[in-house]
Structure 1
Amino acid sequence: MMTSIKRFLIGRPLKSTEAGEQKLNKTKALAILSSDALSSVAYGPEQILLVLITVGVTAFWYSIPIAVGVLLLLTALILSYRQIIFAYPHGGGAYVVSKNNLGVNAGLIAGGSLLVDYILTVAVSVSAGTDAITSTFPSLHTHNVMIAILFVLFLTILNLRGVTESASILAYPVYLFVLALFILIGVGIYKILMGEVSSDLHASMGTPVAGISLFILLRAFASGSSALTGVEAISNAIPNFKEPAPNNAAKTLILMGSLLAVLFTGIVFLAYYLSIVPSVEVTVVSQIAEEIFGRSFMYFFIQGTTALILILAANTGYSAFPLLAVNLAKDKFIPRMFTIRGDRLGYSNGIIILGLASIVLIIAFEGHTENLIPLYAVGVFIPFTLSQTGMMVKWVREKPKGWAFKLIINSIGAVISLIVTIIFFLTKFTQVWPVLVFLPIIILVFHRIRKHYDAVGEQLKVTSCDPAVPIEGNVIIVPVAGITHVVENSLNYAKSLSAEQIIAVYVSFEREDEKKFEDNWKKWQPNVRLVTLHSHYRSIIGPLTKFIDTIEHKASEANYRVTVVIPQFIPRKGWHNILHNQSSLMIRTSLLYRRNVIITTVPYHLKK
């Protein structure tokens, strides 16, 4: 039954040879890898205005030069990540660049930041999209958390079905959102040119503003730069592209940057010209759409596609998180299970862990994850800064053709990214301080995992291990609970092995049962030694393990091994297991960490 449900939700397993069919073309890749960056158009311009409104509406004209600054940073990042794509065509992005050029710890800071950031991407995006829906239908507001969890589960299952299938479904809402904003910006500019919008609504460029300061402008710039989250996702996901993967990834990156630049600039310009004032109840995009179209079909179309893109922005995390996890797992910094492909050739463990972690965040914050946006943004700009700096070191060290121009691009990107990161810490420390706690902890965990893998590898090498001590003989212990076919089956198996001695062990709770069992055993298995143990506290595990430890100690002196053969019957139906006490499982678990005890389970399958 479980298999049927799995096949219904995820689909049939794919052969390894079908991996090429799971690669993305540029159209689909743009949709699923750019959704996070493009969705930030819905809140990036608003973040700028929220800072400027503290000075006054007349300060809104500063949003234009601030937007220019954001575009310069975007250009530097796009050009830099384009270079990263060709320099590191196997993916990994900021993690690989930082590790190779700045050292392991720098790479782990970048990788750890991005892993956490992708979890935040899912939680924040889904919660924001859920808020947009429940704002339209207020009666659903009390169910925010449950709706958000359902969206996460939907995206998780969709991504488990494979990257191409998820891209085929998610491409339509993304492109509808782009179309809706192009129509909004186009009609808005047309009305301005036709004189249908009064030029008196806004303060003209260069109007003196009392109370404005460099600190406020830098803070507004940093807030607006939150629109650049998700730019790095394509460089992490190069292996998902069809061949030639680096060329296709680079073209997709340029197209994403161009779309983001046009949409971001258009929304900032319209918000300034229409003198839109940010509000808690209504978003800036919603106010612009209502001003231009009124409460018409186009208004609701724009609102609907905006809500969808905010939810689907989470899919960028689902695309990039598993691939980044693969790179970290290959370097032994996180569990190797992240390198395993699932039935549909995606890295299923990474997808599932991302979904579960996001659900935990949504529940912990009760769906109100807006306070995580600054943490989410600074978590991106730390890797931005490290990757740009890493590329600077690479060009200076290798000096390839045209390296000076490349160095200038990366230097500009590194400086601006560092400034934005510092501004976040200075202006929003109360919201971003957790990064100073979880990053050291994550790096420590990474190193502990790597240390464990190195230790295991060293111990498993035949050349480095101490020579194995020859085993001179074997003592078999069979725990028995009665005279049954299950016990008989296990004893027959034990007799087939080469053993010095077979000992059946019976643990009794009552003295009368003990005597009766011994008499019956002599008649049934006279050639097999029986040891009966009395348990004063009605525990099977305690007396049994104590006896096994005693035998093991004596056996080890003669280079003998102790093998515990555990009888276990297997019910015909899985749910029948809950009707039995599973003592065989408890015995096996308690003996698992005994160094010189070998455990063998002999199953007996029931027919009814």
Structure 2
Amino acid sequence: MSWIKRMLIGRPLKSAELGEQKINKTKALAILSSDALSSVAYGPEQILLVLVTVGAAAFWYSIPIGVGVLVLLTALILSYRQIIYAYPHGGGAYVVSKENLGKYPGLVAGGSLLVDYILTVAVSVSAGTDAITSAFPSLHAYSVGIAIIFVILITILNLRGLTESASILSYPVYLFVAALFILIGVGVYQIATGRFSPDLHASLGTEVAGISLFLLLRAFASGSSALTGVEAISNAIPNFKEPAPQNATRTLIAMGTLLAILFSGIVYLAYELGVSPKAEVTVVSQIAEEIFGRGFLYFFIQGTTALILILAANTGYSAFPLLAVNLAKDKFIPKMFTNRGDRLGYSNGIIFLGIFSIILILAFEGQTEHLIPLYAVGVFIPFTLSQTGMMMKWLRTRPSGWVIKLVINTTGAAISCIVSLMFFFTKFGQVWPVLIFLPGMVWIFYKIRKHYDTVGDQLRITSCEPVPPIEGNVVILPVAGITHVVEYSLNYAKSLSPHQIIAVYVPFEREEELAFQEKWQKWQPDVRLVTLLSPYRSIITPLSKFIDTVQRKASESHYQVTVIIPQFIPRKGWHNILHNQSSIFIRTHLLLSRNVIITTVPYRLKK
């Protein structure tokens, strides 16, 4: 197993090598922007899916709606730029909300993002699989298996360390950006030279029956799903090389610029080419086929689109563990999320994310497009809270230039709040789980924190609870026969308390009891033997009752009861399945239910 682990993950890294795991702006742009950049593959499509309910003539509204999405993107980029400088140690929406709005708004933001990163992985990988099956329809029946394989591969890649995963994943991301620039450039040129007929689309300003402000807001909210992932950079500031805040800011601006260009280009091409959303073929696939046919460039665009959609999951792998670390440091989730693995990554968070993403893919059979509204609202709630938190910060501290900063954050908060409300009003059937899992997660966070606080109070030396004195030791030694294992354990017991040893034997038959007593008397006449006849063939029940009796009497004299568990260790691990594991069951039962000290004495077999 150790060899397999080394082959998959690589050699362990020293803690001193942590600085070498920091990434530069080029790699950070690739692994932290992949989620946001990949959303251009389905964001414009989400707008058209709403408008098509009125008719193809309404597609021209995608242009002003796209402009509205760009306004929101600008506000978010400027807002998160301020968050990066104000909170350079990372944490994003969780830290901002907790420090400026209070504990529970912070937990809502943190819980939303934790779930959202799981959805990021499931939705991104499933969308990438859809892009593959669009190009190769014969693979459609195997989409769930393909998606799960991709999740496992990305999980292993992230367990190998941030630097190594960034080095590998940056190439597909930049290939995707190049492919879409080619698609948009050639498409705009062909439109300008008149290759496509103006009759393919309704002209801007065409009156459309059935259109309403409510529907336009619904389309705007759906299109805003293209902005998921914008917050990831603010969560992952510790991953950047120094100066981390400046590098993170430049990466954020570069991401926003690329996202704006690619999103605008796809919306414009879809409008000019009169593309209508279809169940089996994505909008980007239709645009590429119209411009290039089903030649090399078409498959190049489909291939890079599939890759970026799959690798967008890596944004979740980069941001989820760091957010989990912040929550774990505040004692709201288990402390195991703060542990670094062999490759200095937070491996518990990475593994947890991979497992739950696979569960989601299996639960929805790879059809996770139904999760996109839930995925989007899970981002816009933290967007709203973080921007509101920054507003409170500027109003409280009033630093130089605070009015402009307040206007930026107020704009971002207002638009994010509108988008969140629109998701609830227009897609309630898909986003209602938020109203259950968010309060549920906050309750879980509260219970975990309460547990840690309670444990801390009891373990603290300054607590008022007195520690009882120990005047002596009574040793209870369960035995199953007269063997070297028992002899070795008995010698150890004599070293602890030579005059307070009680050997306990649990026979199932009277004849067995008498025979063992006779053997013991000849072998160890100086050690007291107690036999507990068990007609119902239970070992743990009579042993527990006997220990309780001894414990009550010992406590009166401030004596401690120690139970010594003899256990032989086979030379090979698989030999364990050939033997009863009574010692393990006894130890577990006593550890969880009795106030005694339990000592396991291992006896290792040589053959």
TM-score (norm: length of structure 1): 0.99
The residue that corresponds to 1:387 in the other structure is: 386
Letter matched to residue 412 of structure 1:
T
Greater CA drift, 365-374 or 591-600: 591-600
The residue that corresponds to 2:8 in the other structure is: 9
How far does the alpha carbon of each residue in 1:223-273 deviate from its partner, in whole angstroms, 9 at most, with x for none?
100000000000000011111111110000000000000000000011111
The residue that corresponds to 1:200 in the other structure is: 199
Letter matched to residue 567 of structure 1:
P
CA distance in 2: counterparts of 1:31 and 1:130, whole angstroms: 20
Letter matched to residue 391 of structure 1:
M
How far does the alpha carbon of each residue in 1:54-100 deviate from its partner, in whole angstroms, 9 at most, with x for none?
22222211111111100000000000001000100000000000000
Q: Which runs of 5+ in 1 are unaligned?
A: none
User: What is the CA-CA distance between 1:139 and the residue it aligns to?
Assistant: 3.4
CA distance in 2: counterparts of 1:410 and 1:367, whole angstroms: 37
The residue that corresponds to 2:289 in the other structure is: 290
Helix, strand or coil at the partner of 1:534: coil
Q: How many residues align?
A: 607
CA distance in 2: counterparts of 1:342 and 1:18, whole angstroms: 13
Is the Cα–Cα contact under 8 Å of residues 473 and 500 in structure 1 kept in the other structure? no
Letter matched to residue 306 of structure 2:
A
User: What is the CA-CA distance between 1:296 and the residue it aligns to?
Assistant: 1.3
Letter matched to residue 305 of structure 2:
T
CA distance in 1: counterparts of 2:459 and 2:186, whole angstroms: 68
Is the Cα–Cα contact under 8 Å of residues 152 and 359 in structure 1 kept in the other structure? yes
The residue that corresponds to 2:519 in the other structure is: 520
Return closer, same or farther for 1:139/1:275 CA change in 2, 3 Å cut-off: closer
The residue that corresponds to 1:455 in the other structure is: 454
CA distance in 1: counterparts of 2:136 and 2:206, whole angstroms: 41
Is the Cα–Cα contact under 8 Å of residues 111 and 438 in structure 2 kept in the other structure? yes
Matched, 1:477 2:481: no
Letter matched to residue 451 of structure 1:
K
User: What is the CA-CA distance between 1:439 and the residue it aligns to?
Assistant: 0.5
The residue that corresponds to 1:534 in the other structure is: 533
User: What is the CA-CA distance between 1:283 and the residue it aligns to?
Assistant: 1.2
Return closer, same or farther for 1:294/1:140 CA change in 2, 3 Å cut-off: closer
Helix, strand or coil at the partner of 1:367: coil
The residue that corresponds to 1:403 in the other structure is: 402
Letter matched to residue 45 of structure 2:
E
Is the Cα–Cα contact under 8 Å of residues 473 and 499 in structure 1 kept in the other structure? no
The residue that corresponds to 1:509 in the other structure is: 508
The residue that corresponds to 2:127 in the other structure is: 128
CA distance in 2: counterparts of 1:523 and 1:203, whole angstroms: 104
Matches within 5 A, 1:298-313: 298-313=297-312
The residue that corresponds to 2:157 in the other structure is: 158
CA distance in 1: counterparts of 2:498 and 2:144, whole angstroms: 61
User: What is the CA-CA distance between 1:595 and the residue it aligns to?
Assistant: 4.6
Is the Cα–Cα contact under 8 Å of residues 474 and 497 in structure 2 kept in the other structure? no
Helix, strand or coil at the partner of 1:593: helix
The residue that corresponds to 2:108 in the other structure is: 109
CA distance in 1: counterparts of 2:388 and 2:253, whole angstroms: 21
Is the Cα–Cα contact under 8 Å of residues 378 and 432 in structure 1 kept in the other structure? yes
| Ranges of 4+ aligned residues in structure 1 off by more than 6 Å | none
User: What is the CA-CA distance between 1:499 and the residue it aligns to?
Assistant: 5.3
Helix, strand or coil at the partner of 1:46: helix
User: What is the CA-CA distance between 1:539 and the residue it aligns to?
Assistant: 1.2
CA distance in 1: counterparts of 2:134 and 2:413, whole angstroms: 39
Helix, strand or coil at the partner of 1:503: strand
Is the Cα–Cα contact under 8 Å of residues 132 and 306 in structure 2 kept in the other structure? yes
Is the Cα–Cα contact under 8 Å of residues 134 and 281 in structure 2 kept in the other structure? no
User: What is the CA-CA distance between 1:500 and the residue it aligns to?
Assistant: 4.5
CA distance in 1: counterparts of 2:577 and 2:113, whole angstroms: 42
CA distance in 1: counterparts of 2:141 and 2:292, whole angstroms: 31
The residue that corresponds to 2:170 in the other structure is: 171
CA distance in 1: counterparts of 2:5 and 2:268, whole angstroms: 49
CA distance in 2: counterparts of 1:517 and 1:133, whole angstroms: 71
- The root-mean-square deviation of aligned C-alpha atoms, in Å, is 1.0
Is the Cα–Cα contact under 8 Å of residues 44 and 224 in structure 1 kept in the other structure? yes
Q: Which runs of 5+ in 2 are unaligned?
A: none
Helix, strand or coil at the partner of 1:562: strand
The residue that corresponds to 1:335 in the other structure is: 334
TM-score (norm: length of structure 2): 0.99
Helix, strand or coil at the partner of 1:508: coil
The residue that corresponds to 1:118 in the other structure is: 117
User: What is the CA-CA distance between 1:138 and the residue it aligns to?
Assistant: 3.3
Helix, strand or coil at the partner of 2:455: helix
Is the Cα–Cα contact under 8 Å of residues 474 and 500 in structure 1 kept in the other structure? no
CA distance in 1: counterparts of 2:211 and 2:364, whole angstroms: 34
How far does the alpha carbon of each residue in 1:289-312 deviate from its partner, in whole angstroms, 9 at most, with x for none?
111111111011101111111111
Percent identity reads 79
User: What is the CA-CA distance between 1:354 and the residue it aligns to?
Assistant: 0.5
CA distance in 2: counterparts of 1:374 and 1:598, whole angstroms: 54
The residue that corresponds to 1:49 in the other structure is: 48
Is the Cα–Cα contact under 8 Å of residues 378 and 424 in structure 1 kept in the other structure? yes
Letter matched to residue 156 of structure 1:
T
Is the Cα–Cα contact under 8 Å of residues 125 and 311 in structure 1 kept in the other structure? yes
